Amino acid sequence: MSDPVLKVGDTLKDRARAALGSRNLILVGLMGAGKSSVGRIVAHQLGIPFIDSDVEIERVSRMTISELFAAYGEDEFRALETRVIKRLLKNGPRVVSTGGGAFINDRTRKHIKKSGLSVWLKADLEVLWERVSKRDTRPLLKTENPKQTLENLMNARYPIYAEADITVLSRDVRKEVMADEVLKAVIEAQTESTLP
Ligand SMILES: Nc1ncnc2c1ncn2[C@@H]1O[C@H](COP(=O)(O)OP(=O)(O)OP(=O)(O)O)[C@@H](O)[C@H]1O
Ligand SMILES: O=C(O)C1=C[C@@H](O)[C@@H](O)[C@H](O)C1
Ligand SMILES: [Mg+2]
């Protein structure tokens, strides 16, 4: 990608926007990591469209994610998720926040890797639990011991999320601070990839 000329005084968002070029920025990670809320701010900062794959799936199916899981099961949900994400990634640049299991699916992960820069928002169990325990809209956590289920998902999924291009630690700080960290990481990733 050819770098547009950057000037002294360019802001963090200008530099991140230039680093991204026409690629998509795709946020991956577990439920509660902040993909949807941080992704929305990042897109606003970059001045490019924001799309949340869970919201898009609910829009096209006219069902909630819980209803989809209940009516068709997880495998059908994943097949739909793959199709929707593939379509969303066709026209970059966009910020696409994915559902927690999207990057774990081999086909979806391939589409994500091909179409842009992936960012893993990595959080520890206590941060995630504090956030997801407030709402019961997540079908995979409707178990007898949802905190243990979340920990099991972390153990199974973290090695796969680690394949993302960038990892940003999602902590208990304001969402705007997290968004700035994502922008900085995009710039750093671009700088590293152009080093001799
Ligand atoms: N940095 C933050 N500080 C405080 N609260 C946060 C932060 N990031 C996210 N949250 C809150 O945590 C909850 C989950 O965040 P969000 O929906 O963005 O996560 P997600 O990664 O998109 O999860 P899912 O995979 O379930 O869609 C929301 O209520 C959100 O407001
Ligand atoms: O972690 C997951 O597998 C999921 C996370 C949510 O974003 C939804 O996509 C759905 O509840 C499945
Ligand atoms: Mg989300």
In a domain, 44, yes or no: yes
Residue 2: predicted pLDDT: 46
On whether residue 3 sits in a domain, the answer given is: no
pLDDT digits (tens, 9 = 90+) for 167-186: 999 999 999 999 999 999 99
Could you give the maximum distance between any two Cα atoms of the chain, in Å?
A: 56
CATH number of the domain residue 116 falls in: 3.40.50.300
Q: Is 100 in the pocket of ligand 2 (CB under 6 A)?
A: yes
Ligand 2 close to Cβ of residue 65 (< 6 A): yes
CA 63 to chain centre: 22
Helix, strand, coil % (nearest 5) of the chain?
60, 10, 30
Identify whether 79 is part of a domain. yes
Domain limits for position 131:
15-187
**Ligand 2 atom nearest to CA at 153:** 1
Say if 77 falls within a structural domain. Answer: yes
Domains contained in the chain, number: 1
Is the minimum distance from the CB of 139 to ligand 2 under 6 angstroms? yes
| Domain-located, residue 45 | yes
Prediction ipTM score: 0.96
Question: Has residue 194 been placed in a domain?
Answer: no
The predicted-structure confidence for 28-58, as pLDDT tens digits, reads as follows 999 999 999 999 999 999 999 999 999 999 9
- Report residue 122: phi and psi, to 5°: -100, 125
Residue 157 Cβ inside 6 Å of ligand 2? The answer reads no
Residue 167 in any domain: the answer is yes
Q: What is the pTM of this model?
A: 0.94
Residue nearest to atom 16 of ligand 1 (CA): 34
Q: Is residue 110 part of a domain?
A: yes
